[in-house]
Structure 1
Amino acid sequence: MTSLINLGTLNDSFPYSFTESAGTVNTTLEPNTTTCVINDNSMSIPLALAYSLMFVFGLLGNVLALYVFLCVHSKKNSVHVFLVNIAVADLILIICLPFRIIYHSTKNHWMLGQTFCKVVGNTFYMNMYISITLLGFISVDRYIKIQRSVRQYKLQKTKWSIITCCITWGMAIAFIIPMISKPEGNEKVTKCFQYKGRQSAKWKAFFNLAMVVVFWIVYISLMLSYGQIAKKLFKLSREKSDLPNAHKYRQTAKKSFFVLFIFTVCFVPYHMFRVIYIWSQIYGTTCYWTNIIDKTNEVALLFSTLNSCLDPVMFFLLSGSVRKMTVRLLCRNVPSYASTTNSSTTEYQQAKASQVTSSTRASFSIIHSFRQKRLITGI
């Protein structure tokens, strides 16, 4: 009995080594280690199918979004700059998915070398966190808009958003270079995107932990900013309930909560579990829990990847101009659209003229309300 106890406590700091291959868990005890075989083939086909669907919808959605932003949508402001960069980051992430699809569809067999594996893997995560960071900047930008006057904000224009995006991309590329160039000591030629112990490369684990901290900072800023924006919009809807467009304030507030909903569903489960995943990489755990942690991380990562497909939906719902341009492109019914638009414009001008005739004060109130709404929503 004593010998068995000593055998189980030979190395408390990291008593397990991991072998990523098909098979079952090997619980045979050896003098200094317990070999853990991770069965990562059980989810290979479902993962390949899920990433395939995300690739198709994400590619179509983000290409369409970029086309609308760059070629059709004429409104240029700070939020527009951020949305363009988010669409680019999502598109690059989507382009990484075929490599994951091929890897999982071939029963987790990698054939393109370890260097390219690290390029694809780190590029995937880099663009995911760029998208997260820029969504945070959008929330801050919209919050600033409700705190400043129109004149103050116009002086700022889009300069700060362009500088912020350039700094974000530059820092991301600078951080990704050592992640690709420095070896970990446990690379396997035929493996990629698999669970890895970080006991010999703890600095990478701590860097991943720092990214988790960045996420939670962004998430808190999103909740605070959109909470204040929604509060402001609901307040305006109550104070200006007699105006024709008062209900639009409530609608815009509800759409702001939709952004938070997407962000929460896609990213919160992954980053809640990420702490456990990184801890197991550094300090190790039993083979049973290692297999559970590996599978749970793969499922949570699917939700994070899903955000790249849902971002174009967010663009469509939050921006009325983008929505109109997208519908126009998809329907290809320009004359009918123009006719409807002209008719609506004529009716609006007639209604506005009537309001000006009846009450000059009410007219100015409507114009101010419209400008205030555009200032708060930002897109």
Structure 2
Amino acid sequence: MDMITNSTDMTGRNSTNTSHCPFAEEWDWLHTMQPGYILAISVLGILGNVFVLLVFCLHKKACTVAEIYLSNLAAADLLLVSCLPFWAVNVANGFNWPFGSLLCRLVNVGIKMNAYCSIYFLVLVSVDRYVALVHTMSHGRMRRPSYAKLGCLLVWGFGLLLGTPTMLFRAVKWVPDFEVTACFLDYPSPKMELVFNVTLIVFGFAIPVSVISYCTCQIIQALKNQAMERFNTEHTERKATLLVLSVLLAFLLCWVPFHLVTALDVLLSAADISGCNLSNSLDICNQVFTYLAFFNSVLNPVLYVIVGKNFRKKVMEVFEQLSMRKKMASGSQRSQLSSTLKTLA
């Protein structure tokens, strides 16, 4: 039996690549587990990220620059997990795409935008922490909420731009080899496919991870220096930085394996190196690491609660605000009822 690559592949590879290799037994296990896993991630991710966004939106104080970036990261994660149920149905349906051509494009653009936007929001938040802790004298001028909002808008636009190939080349077509109507990337030529794959690696991984790594090293060094000097005037900044470092670490652990496998696959394709065992191993690793990357969208809200002391404080204040509003509304209703009874009397 020939092999069909799972269409949730984010690499940009043609998702209906076929070979004359025997079908690996591991694929049966993956296909059995995928729908339930995807749906679980979707439910947990939607609940967690909606909760984070509500806290940031309902809190009476305006968001700080770091919180603006983290709230946009939560929005990107929410976009991803909102698209995943379509793929759960697709996998459960034997990779027959039942939602039409438009949703085939839109759902995959949403997934691709998360891959790009998430890492660039982390670039912005890394640079923000770098400026706040390493260049403390100038951070007041550079770290303005208006600049942060503009930066987020540019990231969303950049993510949409890099998702253009997905919008153009995703198609729903009959695949005779597997007897399914699949939603897959149908590039006009292998050369164009290679160009877009290299673009994903360079702009979706190499450049942003280099910036994040540099900023993170400088941030850690600055925190060490402040600890040695017993420098406590920036205590709030350091608490925010610890949350950011946790989010960065989680992102790298979840996404680096996916990007490394993608890079290896592209290099082997460019060098025209193939083989049944190699092909099966790469495709299975790609699937496992893709779903590890998706799990990051569930992990971030958990980190906000566990590591983010300021976030937990905001949560308590929001609940207090809602409780006060409820009491005020209840008191107003009782007052109106009392006034009405007096009038009737």
TM range (shorter): 0.7 to 0.9
The amino acid of 1:218's aligned partner reads P
Q: Distance in 1 between matches of 2:142 and 2:242?
A: 29
Describe the SS at the equivalent of 2:181.
coil
Matched residue, 1:62: 49
- Partner amino acid, structure 2, of 1:141: D
Equivalent residue number for residue 272 of structure 1: 260
Quote the Cα distance in structure 1 between the aligned partners of 2:132 and 2:255. Answer: 26
In the TM superposition, residue 150 of structure 1 has moved relative to its aligned partner by 5.7
Distance in 2 of aligned mates of 1:88 and 1:253: 20
> 1:139 Cα deviation (Å)?
0.2
Cα distance in 1 between the residues matched to 2:167 and 2:22: 26
**Relative to structure 1, is the Cα distance of residues 51 and 184 closer, same or farther in structure 2, using a 3 angstrom cutoff?**
closer
State which structure, 1 or 2, has the greater radius of gyration over its C-alpha atoms: 1
Q: Distance in 2 between matches of 1:94 and 1:56?
A: 8
CA distance in 1, matches of 2:68, 2:33: 36
SS of the residue corresponding to residue 95 of structure 2 reads: coil
Inter-CA distance 140–231: structure 2 relative to 1 (3 Å threshold): same
1:158-212 alpha-carbon deviations (Å, 9 max, x no partner): 222222211221222233234322468987462236xx79682432332232222
Q: 1:97 deviation in Å?
A: 0.8
Mapping of residues 283-362 of structure 1, within 5 Å? 283=272, 285-327=274-316
Q: Which of these residues, 206, 220, 232, is aligned with residue 210 of structure 2?
A: 220
Q: Give yes or no for the alignment of 1:43 onto 2:27.
A: no
What SS class does the counterpart of residue 191 from structure 1 fall into?
strand
**Distance across 2 between alignment mates of 1:192 and 1:37:** 23
The count of residues paired between Structure 1 and Structure 2 equals: 304
Greater shift after overlay, 203-212 or 78-87?
203-212
1:176 aligns with 2:167: no
**Alignment match, 1:231:** 221
Q: Structure 2 length as normaliser, TM-score?
A: 0.74
Question: How many Å apart are 1:63 and its aligned residue?
Answer: 0.1
How far did residue 84 of structure 1 move? 1.9
Deviations 1:306-344 (A, max 9, x none): 111112123334543321232566799969xxxxxxxxx
What is the CA deviation profile of residues 271-294 of structure 1, one whole-angstrom value per residue up to 9, with x for unaligned ones? 111112334556462334322222
Q: Aligned partners of 1:259, 1:41: CA distance in 2, in Å? A: 33
Q: CA deviation at 1:44?
A: 1.3
Query: Deviation of residue 64 (structure 1)?
Result: 0.4
- For 1:1-379, what aligned pairs fall within 5 Å after superposition? 20=4, 35-36=20-21, 38=23, 40-72=27-59, 74-149=61-136, 153-154=140-141, 156-182=143-169, 188=175, 190-192=181-183, 200-214=189-203, 215-240=205-230, 255=243, 257-279=245-267, 283=272, 285-327=274-316
User: Is the partner of 1:190 in helix, strand or coil?
Assistant: strand
Secondary structure in 2 matching 1:20: coil
Q: Aligned equivalents of 2:3 and 2:158: distance in 1?
A: 34
Aligned counterparts of 1:252 and 1:21: Cα–Cα separation in 2? 41
Match of 1:361 in 2: none
**Cα gap change, 1:331/1:149 in structure 2, threshold over 3 Å: closer, same or farther?**
closer
* Deviation (angstroms), 1:246: 9.9
Unaligned runs of 5+ in 2: 7-17, 325-345
Distance 1:201 1:160, change over 3 A: farther
**Mapped partners of 1:173, 1:42: distance in 2:** 34
Q: What percent identity do the matched residue pairs reach? A: 25
| Shift, 1:253, TM fit | 6.6
Closer/same/farther in 2, CA of residues 249 and 323 from structure 1, 3 Å limit: same
